[in-house]
Chain A
Amino acid sequence: MTATVTPAETATAATPRRRRHRLLVPLGLAVLLIVTTLVLHAVDRPDTDEPGFLSPVATDDDGGSRLAEALRAQGVPVRRETAFDGVLQTAGIAPSTVFVPAPGLVHPDLLDRLTALPPGTRVVFVEPSPRVLAELDTPVEAAARRWAARAVPPDADGTPCPLPEAVRAGTAAIDLQRYAGPAEVGHCYGGALLRVPGRVEVVLAGASDPFRNDRIGEWGNEALATGLLGGNRPLVWLDLPEPVPAPTRPSWSPEPFTEEPAQGGDGGRSERPDPPDRADPPWENPLWGAFPQWFWALLAQLALAGLLVVLWRARRLGPPVSEPLPVTVRSAETVRGRARLYRRAGARDTVAETLRAAALDRLLPRLNLPPDTPDDEVAARIAERGGADPERVAELFYGPAPEKDRELLELARELDALTRTLAPHPSEGDTR
């Protein structure tokens, strides 16, 4: 009856799966965390395209009803306009404050009409995009943008703020989008609030937070918003329900919304490039025209051919084969390890004692001496048999422990020579 117990080989199948899990689980968690953060941030951000965003009649979080009430309480006449042309008509009569909470909804080609309003007018833009800035012909560029709005004092970057309203308001949560412009442009809040002087004064606010219902109560937000929009001028509030389309003819007409369908539907943004006849020609790499077209096609096809070769080389003929290796322990491993420990500890006394005892163990039976023979007699007998100086032998066997490695080596050599002549080891000469 033969029964052989073979080791279990279950571990081999589970190992790759576990290894894959070890990599996938933390990576998946990290990706999930990042995606959740991004989604929450996108949900939390107010949508400027949405109807009711910063509207004086909207009472929800994104609305501006509290701001409108505060302004009315200060005695500022607030005129709500839902059409762009209405703004031009209303504000064209006398200098007033024009509030544009969603400049992205206004078609870029129409923006320069705001700068043609009567002198003394102030136009306040909330978070204007770089394209809006370019259309307005302001010397201002968009600078750093933050992840969320931050409350900063008016002189955040060390320069005094030239806007008295901002200085009065103090710290406000406006630092989301910063702008940079030349020195004549007044910087406040580290560039988050800019005043561009001119015939029509343009004010750029870097965040919608100070104007919104949900955050107008924080810091000096309310004071800043009412200060910017208030004063002795009447306020014209542009509350657009949908994007303003491009003008159909060079001179604007009172009824622009009827003929042309709103381009791009709901998601259509006015930053989008316009009909091809009006758009700038797209930027083209000059290298493209430097070679004939077939050259690029040749490159593409050679890359595809390379891809095929890569696919060919990537497929191996079967997986590599693994096998459990047997346990191997080097011969006399513990003995060598202990020798190294002795060496590191500098245990010369122990080593010398062991070597002397081992040599005596081999010599005494050869000399027919009992183990309890006195030291001097042993030394004398060994010296007599080995033909050496008795004092030297006594020093060798019973002397003090060596101080240095060289002395220890000397001692070991002499002991070895002595035992080799008097008591050869039985295994010596047998090299097998």
Chain B
Amino acid sequence: MTWRAGLLLGVGALTLPFWPAPFVGVAVLTVVVLLLVALDRAMAAPPHALTVTRSGDRTVRLGGTATVTLHLTNPTHHTLYAQVRDAWVPSAGARPDVPPQRLLTVPPGGVATLPVRLTPTRRGDRPAVALTVRSLGPMRLGPGQRAGQPATPPWTLRVLPRFDSRRHLPEKLARLRVIDGVQVTRGRGHGTEFDTLREYAVGDDVRSIDWRGSARRADILVRTWRPERDRRLVCVLDTGRTSAVRLGDEPRLDTAIDAALLLTALAARAGDRVDLLAADTEIRARVTGSGRPALLARLVEAVAPLEPTLAETDFELIAGEVLRRERQRSLVVLFTALEAGAIGEGLLPVLPRLATRHRVVLAAGSDPVLSRLATATPTGPDDPYAAASAWRALAERDRVRAALSRYGVTVVDVPAHRLAPAVADTYLRLKSLGQL
């Protein structure tokens, strides 16, 4: 039914005073209207005969806008008058170019293109859920609509992390080149691995002149050094309960992903091999960095659907997985939270095994709210209590940090927005010291 059928019946009611038997008139008019509705329905293009396909973007960065187009083909001999609603999950931020209320006209054999603009509000997979087609006849009296007719063409838009820390990448790469000894002539480059012999240039360290090589040639040659290449790096993302805590306006997990991506980009450029592991009570994602060129893209794909779970992280599982997969000595960067309960009971028991085989860095973004609570000038009666509570939390964190340092773990504990550059700096420092 549409409102037109009701209106028709209502207008027909006005003729009732002129009928000899008004109740017979009611029956006749109702039957006539229902017959018209049935006739109109029969003349409408059946929804199950339509073919629907989609095309468009498969991935989009968080904050960007993707376009997915719905192609509605009408293979029937009837003109299709239809209202089409293409429903996505709310967080996909779908805005159809053709609103669902608008009546669409598709001639027989024609195709309607319905673009949908999607501005997702969250990272992860955003699926199209339901397609509903309400087909009307030429009189618009009886709409035909049935769930699942036509079937919803599946489409999932993968929303990739924003990777805001990209802006730090040029600066870090420049520092990497300094360490590599590629760019700067002064100094012999950091690192311990012999790289090449080249001609002496003014400003080079005289200590790096290779006399034996110079004797064989007419020029004075210097040795250049470079940091070790083909080291291994493992990023471990903790997706347990502590990763759900919001730091500023995003969860800790998103901060960790951002930092891990910067670290991966940097390490891939430095010629190191990067693996990634995301786990809470089970392994959520795993990337092994064999194909180097597409590593970052694959990594982004893998971490995009990660969600924090409300479960205690199983560090036993993580340590076992890292030890099993990484035979060589690697740099294990653990993105988690400095929380006494989670670290003390989960990580500390397994840390000795991990720390003897690998170099462990624990990266934990701290909550800026916490230090603000601790150091703000108290104004209200609640403030001293909040400050004391915050100081206590900070003291607990210091204790955890001290306990971790005893095992030779490097702890990166900075405000969340500085986590990505701080982790990159730690990596560069370790690399320049040859401690990878």
Using a CB–CB distance below 8 Å, which chain A residues touch chain B?
1-7, 292-294, 296-298, 300-302, 304-309, 311-312, 315, 317-319, 321, 323, 326-336, 338-340, 342-343, 347, 350-352, 354-355, 357-358, 405-406, 408-409, 411-413, 416-417, 420, 425, 427-428, 432
- 20 A-B contacts (beta carbon < 8 Å): A4-B285, A5-B282, A5-B284, A7-B307, A296-B22, A301-B10, A301-B12, A305-B9, A308-B33, A319-B147, A321-B90, A326-B308, A328-B244, A332-B393, A335-B390, A351-B384, A351-B385, A427-B371, A427-B375, A428-B375
Contact A326 B384 (CB under 8 A): no
Please tell me if the beta carbons of A335 and B30 are within 8 angstroms of each other in the complex: no
Q: Which residues of A contact B282 (CB under 8 A)?
A: 5
Q: Is the CB of A326 within 8 A of B6?
A: no
User: B245 touches which one: A317, A329, A342, A413 (CB < 8 A)?
Assistant: A329
**Set B23, B310, B375: member contacting A293, Cβ < 8 A:** B23
- CB pair A416–B22 under 8 Å, yes or no, is no
B125 close to chain A: CB less than 8 A: yes
Which B residues lie at the A interface, using CB under 8 A?
A: 1-3, 5-7, 9-10, 12-14, 16-17, 19, 22-23, 25-26, 29-30, 33, 83, 85, 87-91, 100, 122, 125, 129-132, 134, 143, 145, 147, 241, 244-248, 251, 282-288, 290, 298, 301-302, 305, 307-310, 367-371, 373-375, 377-378, 380-393, 395, 415, 417
> Quick one: which of B284, B302, B384 has the most chain A CB within 10 A?
B384
Q: Is the CB of B378 within 8 A of A409?
A: yes
Task: Contacts A308-B6, A319-B130, A342-B388 given; indicate if A297 touches B383 (C-beta within 8 A).
Answer: no
A428 nearest in chain B by CB position: B375
Contact A336 B386 (CB under 8 A): yes
Chain A min CB distance to B413 (Å): 12
Closest A-B pairs by Cβ, 6 of them: A318-B132, A297-B22, A309-B6, A305-B9, A308-B6, A412-B384
Residue pair B285, A3 in contact (C-beta under 8 Å): yes
**Taking A332-B373, A411-B384 as contacts, is the C-beta distance between A342 and B143 under 8 angstroms?**
no
Q: Are B415 and A427 in contact (CB under 8 A)?
A: yes
Whole-angstrom distance between the Cβ of B240 and the nearest chain A Cβ? 10
Dominant secondary structure of chain A at its interface with chain B: helix
Q: Which of these, B87, B129, B283, contacts A5 with CB under 8 Å?
A: B283
User: How many whole Å from B95's CB to the nearest CB in chain A?
Assistant: 15
Given contact pairs A328-B246, A339-B386, A411-B384, A298 touches B30 in the complex (Cβ within 8 A): no
- Contact A329 B246, beta carbon cutoff 8 Å: yes
CA distance A405 to B384 in the complex (A): 9
Q: When chains A and B are docked, how far (Å) is the Cα of A347 from the Cα of B301?
A: 50
A353 and chain B: residue at smallest CB distance: B388
Chain A nearest Cβ from B402, distance in angstroms: 14
Whole-angstrom CA separation of A354 from B395 in the bound complex = 10
Give the chain A neighbours of B283 by CB distance below 8 A: 5
Contacts of A317 in B (CB 8 A): 83, 85, 100, 132, 134, 145
**Complex contact B388–A323 (CB within 8 A):** no
Contact of A355 with B308 at beta-carbon distance under 8 Å, contacts A304-B30, A305-B6, A427-B415 already known? no
Pick the contact of A327: B19, B122, B309, B369 (CB < 8 A). Answer: B309
Q: Which residues of B contact A417 (CB under 8 A)?
A: 377
Contact B301 A2 (CB under 8 A): yes
Min Cβ gap A106→B in Å is 41
Instruction: Name the B residues within 8 Å of A342 (CB-CB).
Output: 385, 388-389
